[in-house]
Amino acid sequence: MLDIERMNNPFNEDKVVSNCSIFGMMDMSGRRLEGRPVFEAMANMRERSNGLGGGFAVYGLYPDNSEDYAFHAMFDSNEGKSLTEAELSDCFQIVGNEEIPTSPDPSVEDPPILWRFFVRPPKDAGEDFKDLVARVVTKINSTVKDAFIFSAARNMGVFKGIGFPEDLARFYRLEDYKGYMWLSHGRFPTNTIAWWGGAHPFSILDWSVVHNGEISSYGANKRFVEDNGYRCNFFTDTEVVAYAVDLLVRRHGLSMELATRALAPRLWDDIDRMPPAERRLNTALRSSYAGLLLNGPFSVIIGREGEMVGLTDRIRLRPLTAGLAGDVLYLSSEEAPIRLVNGKLDRVWSPRGGAPIIGRLGEGLVPANGGS
């Protein structure tokens, strides 16, 4: 039996301030990279997590199935697996069906059944395929007992669970994979339960999010996304961020730059001093998406196909550091892991509070100053 209280605070301190590690690596030219630097970076920040959750999101993961949607699933029973497979068969063409390869690791206890399905649209699909995927994932996660889909997208996948991230990397045999972008998380849960589905990253379609901090506006954020058709199933504040960016960018058509202004808007005093056109735009964003404003201390790394984004709260109550080496962009809770994995950086900086760092395939850093 895990001693959760002891693991949350092994030194009996009055206040634990380490609070999660996040790390992202993206080759903006599209070159696929092995994950070893990410594993080393997470091991370097081991004291920021406590073994109660870790994980990775990898983009460019399945070049041989790049047009198929890869569903990564965890099951607590064979019944849950059978019901999920039946649900997927009713909605899609299943073209691949296999256990996710793992290697036993003494540091990773009691894993669920871990499975992946590769699917294609049915020939008579009558709706936007992304909407169909999102709807089916929500239905399975809400209604099928003992089943959780933890990622479902083209050419990407999430690998997560209970354990330290570097141990989970060995468990999932991630040394066998390459991708042009890697996101990673080491969890230090402070007010939510620790379980396999509750580890980061959180994902919907090709979006994935890793988060350090606490979103105190979770109740308002949850109501806003659920009023727009989403359902929060994983019992943690981070999940709502993935749904928020999907709503803002995919469904409402905002650019990523505008979406970050909705999530971490400028203070009203700053908006009042803006030129008229900017003032009207930022006022409209704050007013229209008041329910998505993220309050509390946070830093997040958001991934989607072709893009990696770093963002902190408006007054930087949680750290985020960026590094650039040629086409490779790094985002991290700390500077030391970036310098550990690449000693020849062109630039290292910390973004302003609420100012996004955005790396895009074929475009590089957007804007060029990277939020500094």
Which residues belong to the active site?
20
Burial of 279 (0-12, 13-18, 19+ CB in 10 A): middle
Q: Smallest Cα–Cα separation from 356: which of 293, 320, 311? A: 311
d(CA 356, CA 98): 38
Burial of 110 (0-12, 13-18, 19+ CB in 10 A): exposed
Give me the DSSP letters along 189-253: -SSS---GGGSSPEEETTEEEEEEE--TTHHHHHHHHHHTT----SSSTTHHHHHHHIIIIIIT-
> What would the two tokens of residue 132 be?
């169909």
d(CA 349, CA 345): 11
d(CA 322, CA 337): 11
- Sign of the CA dihedral with 63 first, then 64, 67, and 70 last: negative
Helix segments in the chain, DSSP class H: 4-8, 36-44, 78-91, 129-143, 165-171, 218-227, 239-245, 256-263, 268-272, 276-288, 335-341
Is the CB of residue 147 less than 8 Å from the CB of residue 71?
no
Write the CB contacts of 291 (distance below 8 Å, at least 6 apart in sequence): 220, 221, 223, 224, 227
Q: Smallest Cα–Cα separation from 140: which of 193, 194, 92, 200? A: 92
Helix (H) or strand (E) run with residue 303 in it: strand 298-304
> What would the two tokens of residue 302 be?
């958001």
